Amino acid sequence: MDFWAWLILITKVLAVFLLFAIGAMPLVLLERWILGRMQSRYGPHRVGWRGTLQTAADGLKLGIKEDMIPGESDKGVYWFAPVMMVMPALAAWAIVPFGPEVEMGRTIGLWVADLNVGILFFLAMGSLGVYGVVMSGWSSNSKYAHLGALRSSAQVISYELVMGLAVLAVIIYAGSLSLIDIVNAQAGLWFIVPQLIGFLLFVIAAVAETNRAPFDLPEAESELVAGFHVEYSGMRWAFFFMAEYANMLLMSAIVATLFLGGWRGWTIPGLEALTGVFWFLLKCSVFMFGFFLLRATQPRFRYDQLMNFCWKILIPIGVVNLLIAAGLRMAWS
């Protein structure tokens, strides 16, 4: 690698990182506005023009708040848990293709890395996210946090299987583990058409993996107070929030990439990269809106319903779907 290759790589990494550091703030505001509208109230409307500066004010408040550590906690693990929460969520973004290749003196792909095992890397990072939850829940030495962490680990391990089965069906159609190849394989037909069942399974599993309503048992605010991060305050608490939004965005991006053709769509000649990024972001925002919509409209699962739904309904469907996909692929080739 020469100097320019390093420079391009570092620029890409910084760009993706900044997307999060800044991107989470307008998303929080948007969620609160949408939730407010759906519940017939205003939502934030005091700070700045119609409440636009609300998250900035909240961020400032979190920044100057005291960082409390419970007396009987396991300090090292407690300190490290928020980092462990954010790290996999950010690392998985390395493989997401934001747009097509651009010619600027040299060919630059609008992604950080084209791994030949890309989609498996995403699954691996997704399965690491649970460590942040388990470590924070265990080290806090609090019953609420402990219960939240227990629930979360069981839930994430179970729904990971559903997600894996849905992804496998896509891999069978695309014939590659690289996300770039998967997007290119959807040039003619988006995978949502042959893999509608896989798409639905993946979306359900994605909501469960991000611990969002109606799968928000690990942090159920009405019974567990806030679940695994109940003892955290200040910037450490903000890390949990950032990780949640990073994960939601990541899941939206992966759904768009796997099933909706990623950055593919109608293009204006000469502006392929720009339109590509536009289509990709548009598809992502549809799913982000879906996350907010679910939170405003759906009641929470009961724990036995959650487990039965996964093991007795989703996983059998996923296995049958995989078998059918493999059979069709064999018949065609």
Partner 1 sequence: MCVAHLASVVQRSRLRNSMADNLETTVAFWYLAIAAVGAGGLMLVARNPVHSAISLVIVIFHVAGLFVILGAGFLAVAQIAIYAGAIVVLFLFTLMMLDMRRLPEERVTHRQIWLGIPLGILLAIEGVVVSVGTPEISASIKGAFPPATVSDLGGSTQALAVALFNEFTLPFLGASVLLTAATIGAIVLARRVEAHEQADFPQAAEGSSPVETPAEPALEESAR
Report the C-alpha gap between 213 and 298 in whole angstroms.
7
Stretch that binds partner 1, among 62-70, 129-137, 199-207, 240-248 (CB under 8 A): 129-137
**Residue 116 contacts partner 1 per CB under 8 A:** yes
**Residue 264 contacts partner 1 per CB under 8 A:** no
3-state secondary structure of 152: helix
**Residue 74 contacts partner 1 per CB under 8 A:** yes
**Residue 326 contacts partner 1 per CB under 8 A:** no
**Residue 219 contacts partner 1 per CB under 8 A:** no
**Residue 117 contacts partner 1 per CB under 8 A:** yes
- Which of 53, 62, 115, 317 is the binder for partner 1 (CB under 8 A)? 115
Question: Could you tell me if 81 and 73 are in contact, meaning their C-beta atoms sit under 8 angstroms apart?
Answer: no
**Residue 146 contacts partner 1 per CB under 8 A:** yes
**Residue 134 contacts partner 1 per CB under 8 A:** yes
Residue 110 β-bridge partners: 99
- Which of 33, 138, 280, 301 is the binder for partner 1 (CB under 8 A)? 138
**Residue 328 contacts partner 1 per CB under 8 A:** no
Output phi, psi for 330, to 5 deg.
-65, -40
Whichever of 26 and 175 has its CB closer to partner 1, that residue is 175
Report the C-alpha gap between 114 and 116 in whole angstroms.
6
- Which of 136, 142, 153, 211 is the binder for partner 1 (CB under 8 A)? 153
Which are the contacts of 264, defined by CB distance < 8 A and separation ≥ 6?
183, 186, 187, 190, 276, 279
Stretch that binds partner 1, among 99-107, 150-158, 212-220, 287-295 (CB under 8 A): 150-158
Shortest Å, Cβ 174 to partner 1: 13
Report the C-alpha gap between 112 and 97 in whole angstroms.
8
Question: Could you tell me if 47 and 53 are in contact, meaning their C-beta atoms sit under 8 angstroms apart?
Answer: yes
Shortest Å, Cβ 263 to partner 1: 24
Task: Using alpha carbons, list the distances in angstroms from residue 44 to 34, 53, 54.
Answer: 10, 9, 7
Stretch that binds partner 1, among 143-151, 185-193, 300-308, 313-321 (CB under 8 A): 143-151
Shortest Å, Cβ 128 to partner 1: 6
- Which of 13, 35, 38, 154 is the binder for partner 1 (CB under 8 A)? 154
Chain residues 166-195 in contact with partner 1, contact rule CB under 8 A: 177
Report the C-alpha gap between 217 and 86 in whole angstroms.
20
Determine the number of helices (DSSP H) and then strands (DSSP E) in the chain: 11, 2
Question: Could you tell me if 258 and 251 are in contact, meaning their C-beta atoms sit under 8 angstroms apart?
Answer: no
**Residue 165 contacts partner 1 per CB under 8 A:** no
Whichever of 147 and 273 has its CB closer to partner 1, that residue is 147
DSSP structural state of residue 309: I
- Which of 137, 194, 198, 218 is the binder for partner 1 (CB under 8 A)? 137
Which are the contacts of 312, defined by CB distance < 8 A and separation ≥ 6?
none
Shortest Å, Cβ 157 to partner 1: 6
The site for partner 1, by CB under 8 A, has a size of 27
**Residue 131 contacts partner 1 per CB under 8 A:** yes
Report the C-alpha gap between 79 and 88 in whole angstroms.
17
Whichever of 155 and 321 has its CB closer to partner 1, that residue is 155
Report the C-alpha gap between 179 and 184 in whole angstroms.
9
Provide the binding-site residues for partner 1, judged by CB under 8 A.
74, 77, 115-117, 120-121, 123-128, 130-131, 134-135, 137-138, 146, 149-150, 153-154, 157, 160, 177
